Amino acid sequence: MKRYRVMAWVVGVGLLVLVLVAMPLKYFAADPLLVAIVGPIHGFLYMGYLALTADLGVKSRWPVVRLLLVALAGTIPFVSFIAERKVTAPLRDAAPVTPG
């Protein structure tokens, strides 16, 4: 679960940088360099997010629709943060507490 949480945040931040910084620079300042750098990095990280989402979904026995919705959360700004909270809250509550 921790790997999924970290990846959800990384993909979310990467998408925000792409949408809120790189894209405006490309279209308003005619500087496509940041999009050329951040875009492929976000795409690569999103593939990792998909793999970790699938892993967590299978282990948690999610319905296919839920798995697809959580996977799509990495494509909409801010939604990956919301999805991460909604997905991990019940899992954290159900996890056994280990001493120490």
83-100 average pLDDT score: 72
Q: Say if residue 81's pLDDT is above 90.
A: no
Residue 11 and residue 49 in contact, taking contact as beta carbons nearer than 8 Å: yes
> How many CB atoms are closer than 10 A to CB 58?
10
pTM of the model: 0.80
pLDDT in tens, 62-77: 999 999 998 998 888 8
Burial of 94 (0-12, 13-18, 19+ CB in 10 A): exposed
pLDDT in tens, 4-49: 889 988 999 999 999 999 999 999 999 999 999 999 999 999 999 9
